[in-house]
Chains A and B, each alone.
Chain A
Amino acid sequence: MTMSPVETAIRTRVDAGSGALIGYLPVGFPDLDTSIDAAVALVENGVDIVELGLPYSDPVMDGLVIQRATQTALKNGFTLKQGFKAVERIRDRVNAPLLVMTYWNPVIQYGVERFAADLENAGGAGLITPDLIPDEAGEWMSASDAHELDRVFLAAPSSSPARMRQAVESSRGFVYAVSTMGITGARADVDAAARSVIARLREAGATSACVGVGISTPEQVADVLTYADGAIVGSRLVSGLAEGGVPAVAAIAAELATGKD
């Protein structure tokens, strides 16, 4: 199979001697239009791949910053239809590949096949699924194949070698290496565990592996890119958006992007 747009974007950055910067923002925070402008600003300021989060009522992998933002979006009346519309509007304005991050129940309720079809039509590249392990992903494996969508599964410091292999074999686009045993949110130190997860993913055959959870500074981005193919930043961008709106997100993205130099 040919490389997916996400994998190509990562490969291009790696071949240039660095790695990809992936930026997360949730749809609908602080409101729908601003969230779209903010995602566009990410790309215009050096983010290579957009990770667009769909707000969910019970986000067990997320820390307070993202919980608060997605709760606001839900209170404002976020719907999955708006989510697809947002993907479309962002892709109309910028060319970077866009992955949707979603907990699994909304996908089941929408219909896995229908979700995949609408995501493809909206121009989305695939899904990051924090609470779906490959063992439970049968329906998603077929739907993502049928619609040529990426599927990004997680690998954790606690994952066994067999599960590392399974994550590598099941994922397309990249494997999401969770840097630490914990939930999303800025941390002063990105765990040494991250380096080890990437090393173990490489042993399991990974050619595209990115680190997420806890990354918030250009220095951390630079450090992660010395051993991983991409660095994922979320909470720092969300808190920036909460405090200073789109200009703040743009400035933070530009600053984080210096970590790729």
Chain B
Amino acid sequence: MSLRSMTGPYFGSFGGRFVPESLIAALDELDEAYTAAKDDRSFAEELAELHRTYTGRPSILTEAKRFAEHAGGARILLKREDLNHTGSHKINNVLGQALLAKRLGKTRIIAETGAGQHGVASATAAALFGLECVVYMGEVDTERQALNVARMKLLGAEVVPVTTGSRTLKDAINEALRDWVANVEHTHYLLGTVAGPHPFPAMVRDFHSVIGAEAREQVLALTGRLPDVIAACVGGGSNAMGIFHPFLDDEGVRLVGLEAAGDGIDTLFHAATISKGRPGVLHGARSLMLQDEDGQTLESHSISAGLDYPGVGPEHAWLDEIGRAEYRGVTDAEAMDALRLLSRTEGIIPAIETAHALHGALVLGRELGPDAIILVNLSGRGDKDMETAARYFGLLDAQAAERAAEQDAHPTAAEDAQS
């Protein structure tokens, strides 16, 4: 059986639809529209044309030779999703879903965002298509990703800081679901990752599989063979599913997802859902999740807002269960070192999320040796993380450091100043 043939609702025992009945009609409508669009050449052509003239696809493949010297000499190839319009892979899925929303006659899109990348991409698509856009973002994340909040506002979106629960991505999704229940008639929920109720996991994966499809051709053209291993960071898991999926049936290609291990995978402060989670239901699907004995969701921790999520897409849980993909943890410190290393060896500043995959590639390279070819999904650029990185590495001058310290002491005031 082809592993690529899974279309949901279930991936093994994972997936499904665990949502209030009020949303089922909208999910059915979306499922039907998506199924029809998949068979409709004009839809594929319209999306491909947008990607060519707006996203900037195909994204290029960059060989990272100086970086590779630190990876046991293995060849490291970077799939440059950071060069897409809006600065990450997120735009692939957003444009696909925005086209569907238009087909469904919806006039308003809502989105959740953690790091802000999906929110920015959604606000961008809303501007392009003339849709109203509301982005839910945990209050904690609006503070650590202030630049992206400003970008979304400039693009005309309303950004709603979510103040309930842990005030991060998980709660932003709850709030978006509540909005959707109330406004489903004219609103499309533009979910940003391969999680959530069916058809989102399969649909979002399909929209991102352009990453893997292009990379497969590019690696073959450059090296004459398939890569030995693919490394991608995993929060909800969209960029990883996008690059993994076209390779699922290539048995010789190892697939490695890098999760955020925060302070360490054996501490209480991490977001390593697959490594440390148990099966459960969160945000509409059965998957793995971080939870206590009673099934209460635990708060995740990561320096990277985009990976700071206690759940993961159901297809990843399945790939882990059947052993097709493997998942490892990367700590905050390891990711930040990899971020600096890529910046200094290649002149490419990656997003902190992406830096987790880069650390994974360094370790894999040392394990596999100089004959190995490692494909890394460079899922996003690091501009949005400059403040975090500058503080982490002590790059701020004294005055700026003082301002930053003041903002830490008065986060609300800081937010006001930025809005």
Using CB atoms and an 8 Å cutoff, list the residues of chain A in contact with chain B: 56-61, 63-64, 67, 71, 74, 79-80, 104-110, 130-133, 135-136, 153-160, 163, 167, 178, 181-183
Which of B23, B26, B170 touches A58 (beta carbons < 8 Å)? B170
Given contacts A109-B291, A133-B21, A154-B20, contact A60 B182 (CB under 8 A): no
Q: Are A109 and B293 in contact (CB under 8 A)?
A: yes
Contact B24 A105 (CB under 8 A): no
Bound: A135/B286 CA distance, A: 14
Least distance between A109 CB and chain B CB atoms (Å): 3
Q: A64-B164, A109-B280, A158-B184 are in contact. List 16 more A-B contacts (CB 8 A).
A: A58-B282, A60-B174, A61-B178, A104-B18, A105-B280, A105-B281, A105-B295, A106-B294, A106-B296, A108-B280, A131-B20, A133-B17, A153-B21, A156-B22, A182-B181, A183-B181
Q: Which of B23, B185, B282, B297 has the largest number of chain A CB atoms within 10 A? A: B23
Question: Which of B28, B281, B294 lies in contact with A80, CB distance below 8 A?
Answer: B294
Q: How far is the CA of A160 from the CA of B178 in the complex (A)?
A: 21
Partner of B182, one of A108, A130, A133, A183: A183
Enumerate B152-187 residues with CB–CB distance to A below 8 Å: 164-165, 170-171, 174, 177-178, 181-185
Q: Which of A59, A105, A157, A160 contacts B282, CB < 8 Å?
A: A105
Q: Are B24 and A182 in contact (CB under 8 A)?
A: no
Contact assessment for A60 and B178 in the assembled complex, using a CB-CB cutoff below 8 Å: yes
A60:B177 contact, CB within 8 angstroms: yes
Q: How far is the CB of B200 from chain A (nearest CB, A)?
A: 15
Interface string of B361-378 (1 = CB under 8 A from A): 000000000000000000
Task: List the B side residues contacting A132 at CB < 8 Å.
Answer: 18
Q: How far is the CA of A67 from the CA of B166 in the complex (A)?
A: 12
B25 at the interface (CB under 8 A from A): yes
B contact residues around A60 at 8 Å (CB): 19-20, 174, 177-178, 181, 283
- A80 and B296 alpha carbons, distance in the complex (Å): 10
B185 touches A181 (CB 8 A): yes
Question: Which chain A residue has the least Cβ–Cβ distance from B22?
Answer: A156
A163 to B174, CA, bound (A): 24
**Residues of chain A within 8 A of B291, CB atoms compared:** 105, 109
Interface membership of chain B positions 382-403, coded 1 if the CB is closer than 8 angstroms to chain A and 0 otherwise: 0000000000000000000000
Chain A residues in 8 Å Cβ range of B306: none
A63: chain B residues within 8 A (beta carbon)? 178
In the assembled complex, which residues on chain B have CB atoms less than 8 Å from the CB atom of A59?
174
CB <8 Å contact, B280 and A178: no
Q: Which of B25, B165, B170, B283 contacts A158 (CB 8 A)?
A: B25
Is B21 touching A109 in the complex (CB atoms < 8 A)?
no
Contacting pair A58 B182 (CB below 8 A): no
Q: For B25, give the chain A residue with the smallest CB separation.
A: A158
Q: Are A181 and B20 in contact (CB under 8 A)?
A: no
Task: Assess whether B283 is in contact with A58, with CB atoms less than 8 Å apart.
Answer: yes
User: Closest CB-CB distance, A118 to chain B, in whole Å?
Assistant: 13
